[in-house]
């Protein structure tokens, strides 16, 4: 392994971490504002002009808050749980090509940390591990709400994970590769070649699963504030809670990238326009996450399970079969 | 006698209609149909559309408290005020102790004494705002309309026991002279026109 | 006594005593009849007329009409309703609308009845006159609020015996003539009377000069009479009422300490006033105003406590007074049982000895009567007590009995204008000190059943009688005869009109005969006034029940043993029922519970008195103790009742029980001893918490329990010795007594009573001497000497001055060799 590659990778990792941690902050600000506007409110207004410095304030607050480890929690597990959530989110990002490759000072940069050939599998797998955060944190918290939340996490997890896997199977069959770069290249021919047209059912299923995976409304079940306080996060404070938080928002961004790359043509031909288009698509998907939160109600955990197992999974299977049949002929 | 008019709760005739509530689906198939019809009928998108529309309309209703404050209604019950007599400027409170007695959270206390003018003088009077539930009983029971509710509702305090004393509540004498004391129309005040229903006591002079 | 009869009230049948007032019969059966002016135990005044009822079809006043067998009473009719409403409207005429500040508000009968009768408008009117409020000293009178129910006047006259209040003209104009027609009859009559008067002082002075009991303010139904100290300090409804027993004298009155937090800044409980069930118990000034004698601001002083334990280990004697509870007395007795302390308590010891000597003759462990009975007797005799200061309630009972158509004799060396002022039917005899035996022999002579009385005594008494007498008396004899016949006739017709003429025939015969033949030298010895025997005959007319009150002068008398036997003989062989006044608050209880010793040993612990180590509820000792208003426990009263009392104000220090526990006794609370009080001495095994403390509507005293009677094991011995006529105290005399409203240093701690003691001299004695009030004099007797200020006291008369015990700075007891009188030389310094 040559040194340049090593340095490049380290730099990429650092940039990735910094950018997406910061984005988590901006994400909240953005979310609060969007939700406020949709509900005829102003949202945060006081920290700086239009409360732009809210993120800084929140950051300072999170960093300086007293770190409380309650009395009856299982200490090590309690402490490691937020790290799992944050770490897995960023680990998953390793296989995501955020941009087309470009040349800087004559050095070609691939904005992907590692283009492993089982990219999608890796991303899905690592993201799934992220589930251990809420699960362990909830169980270790010695709090009834947290425990309910952990139970919900487990039950919801076994439901949506089936759908996300199966729904992606059809596109994978069509592309014939697990690398996201290959996916991108498969759709590089333009809007018409986007996977969403050839696999609309898979797209819908995956988006639904993505909502469940990131725990966004209408599947905001694991930490549903009006039912179980903050769920697994109830007993956490300060930066420990902050890690959960960053993990969640980073997840949202990454899943937006994944959706854009798999179904919406990614960065297309790799031109600057394509790169901007990718950012636009990701932004829209992120916005969509917020938008639904303003408009839709939550379902119950049992409804989600029912939906996943009895409706979405059969549809996904049928979709695979049909895709297979179409590909045979 | 018919109960019809009591049962008909459509008080305002127009603008009210019964909402159709479908029966809850019993079977799996029924549930599936419900999900399918709700998803495909586009109800979800109606919601999305409404919030998006509002976002672009940007018709904001936020009152930016504490920079902006809404006006308080006259019957609002916030921190008490003690009024003075308009004519003489003396305190209206006669120290009868009824407010102390009626106070539901037992947060009023007062000390009285016999003063040089053979009158009952209130030497100290306090309301523990930490316990007051702003029920308005004290204002209602006060025979002199001395204690009334004011509009000051900001009670944040560093202590649980947070008091107001007589002097804090009393209209300052210069404010009275400047005509700033207004008669209290709210809780406990005399109903307009109630003097018509009072029978006059005959007097020999 | 009176017969049990059946009456019907509003259709329901009830049992009551014949001759009971309808109002009392109704109240006893929980039937409500509005009534304002009537005071239970006093005579009806008919001022308010609101108690109208219909009895057998006739309108009568319930407070004044007596029940008859089979009477049918209706408490309300249409006409009565009209009258009552009109009466309340009249009371509300010109009544200031000042309930907001009035001290009576919340317990005001005018408020209550105005609401009860639904008075919501006024029909009557009259121009008001100036009725400004006046300050009468410790009482404040606001005629503007007065409804002239005369309850104050009645209480002061019929119960207290001071007669300090009366009605005076109001000076109002006449009531508009048209009302006479338009108004209900009784309401008009009542208004007519009301409109003519307000209340004033009998003396005509500016300030009240009475025995300051405050009972007038207590009975006042409105806010017209208020204790000056209480005005505008609190509302009645803010008070927590602590049922208690007054701790100042042996009467053991039921009181309620009315407490509330001290002020906004100070949440500690404070006593604001003392209230009482004035229909059934009347307080004296000490009970009413001497409430804040608590030992305040005491904390647990561990060093002092350790020192106290050391002192107890060292001590062989405990000196104490009788101002302690029964439980504390029992603790002391237990300590004696365990460690062999000598218990020294002079007043209890004297009383105990007296009781024992009495038992030898009477075969009863304790005197037979109580003050309740005295109230209802027709003829009362008091011997050996300065009635008004030794036990004010005994005085009220005496006065009440006299006022309710009774009569009385008051034997005491110190003349008492208050007793003299009670009624014409009281004869005061100011005998010489030490002649109490002669007084008792006289009573035996006058009232005992000579057939039953031991022969020896009869013979001895006969020796005082002679047919032929000295020449001087002869003339008097003649005069008496003529005068008496006239006077008796005059009085009969003048005073009691309902007496029929046949009595007038009988009396003069009898009197003239007896007087002519007999001369009783005992009368001379006791110094009875001239014509005493005839006066007595008049007084005794129609008297059926007799009470004898004896007091502390006798217990300390040099021949107290003989006196006790004489007292017992009187009780045994005459119609007299006997009450003894225990010297101090709990003298009776202490005497029964403790085995007392005469002599102190080497090292004494003093409890509220002197000692080498002093425990004191007064706060001036080596270790603090709670005062009685800070303790729960029981007190034994003159009425032989064991009365519970409760904690009115907090106490933060150690109590006697803590010491006892540290010394090896075991009880969590002092009141654990209540049920252990000795049953062998008449106490009962009852828990403190089970003791009631209230009166019923029928006026029945439901307080604590009555002491049981115990068998007497001593040999019967009715032997009495003759009088020593020559024994006398020569020269200037002093007496050991307290002014009214003072008993002990505890009363002198209360802020309204605090005073400096001195040598109290009557106004006449003072003007006859060279002394003036305020002079400092040295009073010297055989036993000791004190120097004190001279104080003029218009509540006594005659030559004898007295020294008080309430002032801790004056050690008056040291001047007296036991007996309460002593010869003294008084020198101005
Ligand atoms: S508003 Fe209600 S709770 Fe508050 S002081 Fe008045 S009576 Fe008491
Ligand atoms: S009720 Fe009114 S007049 Fe009476 S004490 Fe309270 S404030 Fe004063
Ligand atoms: S006496 Fe009674 S009615 Fe009169 S002002 Fe006082 S409380 Fe009111
Ligand atoms: S002062 Fe009171 S008790 Fe006396 S007459 Fe007047 S109202 Fe009655
Ligand atoms: S205080 Fe007692 S003695 Fe004096 S006037 Fe009143 S009732 Fe009579
Ligand atoms: S109570 Fe009978 S007349 Fe007043």
Residues A302-326, buried b or exposed e (16+ Cβ, 10 A)? eebbbbbeebbbebbeebbeebeee
Q: Ligand 2 centroid vs B84 CA: distance in angstroms?
A: 12
The response to whether residue C108 sits with its C-beta less than 6 Å from ligand 3 reads: yes
* Beta carbons of B101 and C123 less than 8 Å apart: no
CA distance B134 to chain C (A): 21
SS3 per residue for C180-201 = HHHCCHHHHHHHHHHCCEEEEE
* Beta carbons of B98 and C100 less than 8 Å apart: yes
Find, among C346, C317, C350, the residue nearest to C332 by Cα. C317
Please state, in angstroms and rounded to a whole number, the distance separating the CA atoms of residues B36 and A312. 11
Residues whose CB falls within 8 Å of the CB of residue C500, separated by 6 or more in sequence, listed in order: none
* Beta carbons of B55 and A45 less than 8 Å apart: no
Kind of pairing, strands C317-320 and C342-344? parallel
Decide which of A107 and C460 is more confident.
Answer: C460
Cβ-based contacts of B32 with chain A (< 8 Å): 310-311
The CATH topology of domain C733-828 is Barwin-like endoglucanases (2.40.40)
| DSSP assignment letter at C790 | E
ipTM: 0.81
Residues forming beta bridges with residue C792, ordered by sequence position: C761
Residue A144 sits at the chain B interface (C-beta within 8 Å): no
The response to whether residue B139 sits with its C-beta less than 6 Å from ligand 2 reads: no
Please state, in angstroms and rounded to a whole number, the distance separating the CA atoms of residues C618 and C632. 17
Residue C817 in tokens: 């060799």
Residue B189 in tokens: 């005040």
Residue A41 sits at the chain B interface (C-beta within 8 Å): yes
Please state, in angstroms and rounded to a whole number, the distance separating the CA atoms of residues A315 and C635. 94
What is the structure's pLDDT at C447?
A: 93
Q: For the domain with range C347-463+527-585, which CATH number is right: 3.40.50.300, 2.20.28.10, 3.90.79.10, 3.40.228.10? A: 3.40.228.10
Q: Ligand 6 centroid vs B29 CA: distance in angstroms?
A: 89
Average pLDDT on B158-165 reads 84
Find the closest chain B residue to A306 by CA distance. B28
What is the structure's pLDDT at C474?
A: 39
Residue C100 in tokens: 């907001």
C-alpha to C-alpha distances, C522 to C308, C440, C462, C635, nearest whole angstrom: 55, 10, 10, 39
Find, among B81, B183, B167, B58, the residue nearest to B122 by Cα. B167
3-state secondary structure of A35: helix
Residue C680 sits at the chain B interface (C-beta within 8 Å): no
* Beta carbons of B51 and A307 less than 8 Å apart: no
Phi/psi-derived region of residue C774, left when phi > 0, alpha when psi is between -120 and 50, beta in every other case: left
Q: Where are the domains of chain B?
A: 80-189
Please state, in angstroms and rounded to a whole number, the distance separating the CA atoms of residues C233 and C227. 11
| Helical spans, DSSP H, in C93-150 | 109-116
Residues whose CB falls within 8 Å of the CB of residue C339, separated by 6 or more in sequence, listed in order: C312, C663
Q: How many other C-beta atoms are found inside a 10 Å radius of the C-beta of residue C442?
A: 26
Please state, in angstroms and rounded to a whole number, the distance separating the CA atoms of residues C390 and C554. 13
257-286 in chain C: CB under 8 A from chain B:
261, 263-265
Q: Residue C239 in contact with residue C260, Cβ under 8 Å?
A: yes
Substitution target from C92, C93, C94, C101 for chain B, most B beta carbons within 10 A:
C101
Residue A201 in tokens: 């059912």
What is the structure's pLDDT at B12?
A: 61
Please state, in angstroms and rounded to a whole number, the distance separating the CA atoms of residues B118 and C135. 11
Find, among C323, C476, C321, C133, the residue nearest to C813 by Cα. C321
Please state, in angstroms and rounded to a whole number, the distance separating the CA atoms of residues C242 and C650. 12
What is the structure's pLDDT at C504?
A: 42
* Beta carbons of C238 and B124 less than 8 Å apart: no
What is the structure's pLDDT at C478?
A: 41
- How buried is C545 (Cβ within 10 angstroms: 0-12 exposed, 13-18 middle, 19+ buried)? middle
Q: For a substitution probing ligand 1, which of B97, B104, B148, B150 has the most ligand atoms within 8 Å of its CB? A: B104
| Helical spans, DSSP H, in C195-345 | 215-219, 285-289, 302-314, 326-339
**Partner chains of A (3+ C-beta pairs under 8 Å):** B
A and B make contact (3+ CB pairs below 8 Å): yes
Q: Residue C257 in contact with residue C275, Cβ under 8 Å?
A: no
What is the structure's pLDDT at C486?
A: 41
C77-247+268-289 has which CATH code? 3.30.70.20
Residues A17, A22, A23, A26, Cα dihedral to 10°: 170
Q: Ligand 6 centroid vs C44 CA: distance in angstroms?
A: 7
Q: In ligand 6, which atom is closest to the CA atom of C49?
A: 3
A123-175 pLDDT tens trace: 888 888 888 888 999 899 888 999 999 998 888 888 888 888 888 888 888 88
CA distance A309 to chain B (A): 12
188-217 in chain A: CB under 8 A from chain B:
none
Residues whose CB falls within 8 Å of the CB of residue C795, separated by 6 or more in sequence, listed in order: C211, C388, C416, C417, C418, C739, C740
What is the structure's pLDDT at C57?
A: 92
Please state, in angstroms and rounded to a whole number, the distance separating the CA atoms of residues C174 and C177. 8
Phi and psi torsions of C530, nearest 5°: -60, 150
Mean pLDDT of chain B: 85
Find, among A83, A114, A81, A85, the residue nearest to A97 by Cα. A114
Q: Which helix (H) or strand (E) holds C343?
A: strand C342-344
What is the Cα C85 distance to its own chain's centre?
38
Q: Residue A253 in contact with residue A281, Cβ under 8 Å?
A: no
Which ligand is nearest to the Cα of residue C113, counting in written order?
3
Phi/psi-derived region of residue C695, left when phi > 0, alpha when psi is between -120 and 50, beta in every other case: beta
- How buried is C175 (Cβ within 10 angstroms: 0-12 exposed, 13-18 middle, 19+ buried)? buried
Q: Residues near ligand 4 with C-beta < 6 Å? A: C 146-152, 199, 219-222, 224-225
| DSSP assignment letter at B146 | -
B and C make contact (3+ CB pairs below 8 Å): yes
Q: Residue C232 in contact with residue B97, Cβ under 8 Å?
A: no
What is the structure's pLDDT at C819?
A: 93
Q: Residue C731 in contact with residue C739, Cβ under 8 Å?
A: no
Residue B25 sits at the chain A interface (C-beta within 8 Å): no
Residue B113 sits at the chain C interface (C-beta within 8 Å): yes
Residue A290 sits at the chain B interface (C-beta within 8 Å): no
The CATH topology of domain B80-189 is Alpha-Beta Plaits (3.30.70)
Residue A302 sits at the chain B interface (C-beta within 8 Å): no
Q: Which residues of chain C have pLDDT under 50?
A: 1, 469-490, 492, 496-515
* Beta carbons of C99 and B96 less than 8 Å apart: yes
Q: For a substitution probing ligand 5, which of C212, C220, C224, C753 has the most ligand atoms within 8 Å of its CB? A: C212
3-state secondary structure of C79: helix
Residues C741-764, buried b or exposed e (16+ Cβ, 10 A)? bbbbbbbbbbebbeeebbbbbbee
Give C696-701 contacts, CB < 8 A, sequence gap 24+. C696/C28, C697/C27, C697/C28, C697/C30, C698/C24, C698/C27, C698/C28, C699/C24, C699/C28, C699/C40, C699/C41, C699/C279, C699/C280, C701/C254, C701/C280, C701/C372, C701/C639, C701/C641
What is the structure's pLDDT at B3?
A: 64
Please state, in angstroms and rounded to a whole number, the distance separating the CA atoms of residues B151 and A262. 60
* Beta carbons of A292 and B31 less than 8 Å apart: no
A232-290 pLDDT tens trace: 888 888 888 888 888 888 888 888 888 988 888 778 777 777 788 888 888 999 999 89
A vs B: CB pairs below 8 A: 45
CA distance A235 to chain B (A): 26
Average pLDDT on A198-207 reads 88
| Helical spans, DSSP H, in C518-582 | 521-526, 532-539, 552-555, 560-573
Q: Which helix (H) or strand (E) holds C641?
A: strand C641-645
Residue labelled with tokens 């303003």 = A294
B81-127 pLDDT tens trace: 999 998 898 999 999 999 999 999 999 999 999 998 889 999 999 99
Which ligand is nearest to the Cα of residue C143, counting in written order?
4
Q: Which helix (H) or strand (E) holds C577?
A: strand C576-580
C-alpha to C-alpha distances, C763 to B129, C137, C732, nearest whole angstrom: 61, 21, 16
Please state, in angstroms and rounded to a whole number, the distance separating the CA atoms of residues C820 and C51. 49
- B31, B47, B60 member nearest A42 (Cβ): B60
pLDDT at residue A47 greater than cutoff 60: yes
Q: Where are the domains of chain C?
A: 77-247+268-289, 302-345+594-674, 347-463+527-585, 466-526, 733-828
What is the structure's pLDDT at B43?
A: 78
* Beta carbons of B114 and C233 less than 8 Å apart: yes
Residue C105 sits at the chain B interface (C-beta within 8 Å): yes
Q: In ligand 6, which atom is closest to the CA atom of C37?
A: 4
* Beta carbons of B31 and A41 less than 8 Å apart: no
B vs C: CB pairs below 8 A: 61
What is the structure's pLDDT at B7?
A: 63
């Amino acid at each position: 392994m040559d040194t340049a590659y090593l340095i490049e990778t380290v730099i990429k990792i650092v940039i990735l971490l910094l950018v997406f941690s910061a984005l988590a902050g901006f994400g909240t600000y953005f979310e609060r504002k969007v939700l406020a506007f949709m509900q005829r409110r102003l949202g945060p207004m006081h920290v700086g002009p239009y409360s732009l410095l809210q993120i800084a304030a929140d950051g300072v607050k999170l960093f300086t808050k007293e770190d409380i480890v309650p009395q009856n929690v299982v200490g090590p597990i309690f402490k490691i749980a937020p790290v799992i959530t944050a770490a897995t989110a960023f680990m998953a990002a390793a296989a995501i090509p955020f941009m087309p490759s470009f040349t800087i000072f004559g050095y070609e940069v691939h904005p992907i940390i590692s283009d492993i050939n089982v990219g999608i599998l890796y991303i899905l797998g690592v993201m799934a591990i992220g589930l251990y955060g809420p699960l362990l944190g909830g169980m270790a918290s010695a709090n009834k709400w947290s425990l309910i939340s952990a139970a919900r996490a487990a039950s919801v997890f076994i439901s949506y994970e089936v759908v996300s896997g199966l729904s992606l199977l059809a596109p994978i069959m069509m592309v014939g590769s697990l690398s996201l770069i290959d996916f991108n290249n498969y759709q590089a021919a333009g809007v018409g070649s986007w996977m969403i047209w050839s696999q609309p059912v898979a797209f819908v299923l995956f988006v639904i699963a993505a909502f469940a995976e990131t725990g966004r409304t209408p599947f905001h079940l694991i930490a549903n504030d009006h039912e179980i306080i903050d769920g697994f996060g109830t007993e956490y404070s300060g930066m420990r809670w902050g890690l959960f938080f960053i993990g969640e928002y980073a997840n949202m961004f990454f899943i937006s990238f994944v959706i854009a790359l798999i179904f919406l043509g990614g960065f297309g031909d790799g031109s600057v326009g394509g790169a901007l288009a990718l950012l636009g698509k990701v932004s829209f998907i992120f916005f969509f996450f917020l938008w639904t939160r303003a408009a839709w109600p939550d379902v119950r955990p049992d409804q989600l399970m029912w939906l996943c197992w009895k409706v979405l999974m059969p549809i996904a299977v049928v979709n695979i079969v049909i895709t297979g049949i179409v590909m045979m002929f | 006698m018919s109960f019809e008019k009591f049962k008909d709760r459509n008080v305002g005739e127009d603008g009210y209609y019964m909402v159709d509530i479908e029966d809850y689906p019993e079977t799996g198939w029924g549930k599936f149909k419900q999900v399918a019809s709700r998803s495909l009928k586009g109800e979800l998108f109606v919601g999305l559309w409404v919030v998006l529309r509002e976002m672009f309309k940007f018709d904001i209703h936020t009152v930016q408290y504490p920079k902006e404050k809404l006006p308080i209604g006259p019957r609002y019950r916030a921190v008490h005020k003690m009024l003075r007599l308009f004519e003489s400027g003396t305190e209206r409170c006669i120290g009868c102790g009824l407010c102390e007695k009626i106070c539901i959270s037992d947060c009023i206390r007062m000390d009285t004494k016999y003063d040089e003018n053979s009158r009952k003088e209130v030497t100290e009077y306090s309301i523990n705002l930490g316990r007051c539930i702003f029920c308005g009983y004290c204002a209602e029971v006060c025979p002199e309309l001395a204690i009334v509710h004011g509009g000051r509702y900001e009670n944040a305090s560093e202590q649980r026991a947070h008091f107001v004393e007589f002097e804090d509540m009393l209209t300052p004498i210069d404010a009275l002279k400047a005509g700033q004391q207004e008669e209290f129309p709210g809780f406990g005040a005399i109903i307009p026109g109630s003097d018509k229903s009072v029978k006059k006591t005959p007097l020999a002079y | 006594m009176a017969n049990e009869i059946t009456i019907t009230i509003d259709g329901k049948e009830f049992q009551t005593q014949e001759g009971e007032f309808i109002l009392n019969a109704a109240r006893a059966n929980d039937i409500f009849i509005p009534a304002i002016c009537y005071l239970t135990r006093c005579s009806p005044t008919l001022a308010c007329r609101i108690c109208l009822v219909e009895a057998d079809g006739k309108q009568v006043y319930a407070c004044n009409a007596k029940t008859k067998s089979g009477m049918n009473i209706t408490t309300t009719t249409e006409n009565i309703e009209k009258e009552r409403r009109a009466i309340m409207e009249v009371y509300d005429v010109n009544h200031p609308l000042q309930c907001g500040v009035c001290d009576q508000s919340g317990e005001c009968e005018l408020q209550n009845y105005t609401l009860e009768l639904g008075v919501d408008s006024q029909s009557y009117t009259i121009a008001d006159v100036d009725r400004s409020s006046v300050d009468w000293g410790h009482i404040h009178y606001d005629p503007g609020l007065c409804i002239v129910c005369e309850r104050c006047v009645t209480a002061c006259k019929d119960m207290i015996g001071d007669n300090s209040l009366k009605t005076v003209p109001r000076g109002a104009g006449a009531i508009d003539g048209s009302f006479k027609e338009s108004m209900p009859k009784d309401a008009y009559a009542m208004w007519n009377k009301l409109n003519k008067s307000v209340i004033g002082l009998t003396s005509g002075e500016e300030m009240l000069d009475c025995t300051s009991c405050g009972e007038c303010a207590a009975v006042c139904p409105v806010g017209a009479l208020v204790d000056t100290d209480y005005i505008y300090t609190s509302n009645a409804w803010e008070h927590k009422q602590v049922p208690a027993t007054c701790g100042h004298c042996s009467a053991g009155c039921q009181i309620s300490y009315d407490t509330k937090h001290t002020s906004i800044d100070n949440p500690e409980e404070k006593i604001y006033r003392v209230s009482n069930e004035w229909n059934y118990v009347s307080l004296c000034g000490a009970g009413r105003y001497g409430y804040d004698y608590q030992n305040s601001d005491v904390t647990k002083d561990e060093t002092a406590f350790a020192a106290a334990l050391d002192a107890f280990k060292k001590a062989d004697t405990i000196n104490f007074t009788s101002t302690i509870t029964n439980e504390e007395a029992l603790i002391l007795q237990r300590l004696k049982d365990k460690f062999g302390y000598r218990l020294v308590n002079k007043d209890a010891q004297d009383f105990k000895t007296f009781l024992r000597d009495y038992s030898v003759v009477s075969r009863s462990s304790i005197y037979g009567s109580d003050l309740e009975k005295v109230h209802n007797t027709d003829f009362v005799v008091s011997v050996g007590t300065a009635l008004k200061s030794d036990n004010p309630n005994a005085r009220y009972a005496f006065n009440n009995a006299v006022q309710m158509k009774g009569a009385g004799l008051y034997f005491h060396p110190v003349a008492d204008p208050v007793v003299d002022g009670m009624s014409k039917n009281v004869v005061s005899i100011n005998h010489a000190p030490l002649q109490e035996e002669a007084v008792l022999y006289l009573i035996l002579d006058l009232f005992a059943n000579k057939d039953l009385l031991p022969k020896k005594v009869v013979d001895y008494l006969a020796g005082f009688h002679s047919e032929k007498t000295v020449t001087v008396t002869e003339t008097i004899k003649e005069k008496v005869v003529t005068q008496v016949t006239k006077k008796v006739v005059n009085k009969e017709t003048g005073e009691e009109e309902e007496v029929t003429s046949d009595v007038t025939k009988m009396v003069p015969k009898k009197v003239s005969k007896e007087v002519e033949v007999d001369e009783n030298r005992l009368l001379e010895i006791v110094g009875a006034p001239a014509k005493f025997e005839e006066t007595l005959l008049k007084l005794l007319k129609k008297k059926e029940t007799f009470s004898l009150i004896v007091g502390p002068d006798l217990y300390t008398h040099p021949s107290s043993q003989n006196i006790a036997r004489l007292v017992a003989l009187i009780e045994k062989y005459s119609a007299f029922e006997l009450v003894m006044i225990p010297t101090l608050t709990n003298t009776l209880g202490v005497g029964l519970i403790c085995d007392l010793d005469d002599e102190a040993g080497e090292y004494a612990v003093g409890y509220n008195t002197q000692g080498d180590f002093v425990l004191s509820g007064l706060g001036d000792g080596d270790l603090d103790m709670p005062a009685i208003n800070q303790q729960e426990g029981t007190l034994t009263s003159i009425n032989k009742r064991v009365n519970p009392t409760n904690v009115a104000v907090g106490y933060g220090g150690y109590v006697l029980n803590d010491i006892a526990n540290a010394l090896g006794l075991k009880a969590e609370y002092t009141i654990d001893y209540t049920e252990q009080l000795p049953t062998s001495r008449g106490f009962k095994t009852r828990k403190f918490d089970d003791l009631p403390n209230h009166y019923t509507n029928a006026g029945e005293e439901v307080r604590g329990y009555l002491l049981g009677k115990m068998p007497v094991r001593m040999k019967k011995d009715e032997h009495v010795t003759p009088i020593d006529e020559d024994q006398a105290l020569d020269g200037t005399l002093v007496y050991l007594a307290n002014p009214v409203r003072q008993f002990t240093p505890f009363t002198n701690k209360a802020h309204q009573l605090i005073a400096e003691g001195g040598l109290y001299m009557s106004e006449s004695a003072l003007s006859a001497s060279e002394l003036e009030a305020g002079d400092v004099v040295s009073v010297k007797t055989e036993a000791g000497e004190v120097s004190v200020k001279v104080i003029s006291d218009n509540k006594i008369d005659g030559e004898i001055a007295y020294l008080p015990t309430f002032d801790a700075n004056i050690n008056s007891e040291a001047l007296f060799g036991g007996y309460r009188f002593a010869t003294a030389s008084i020198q101005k310094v």
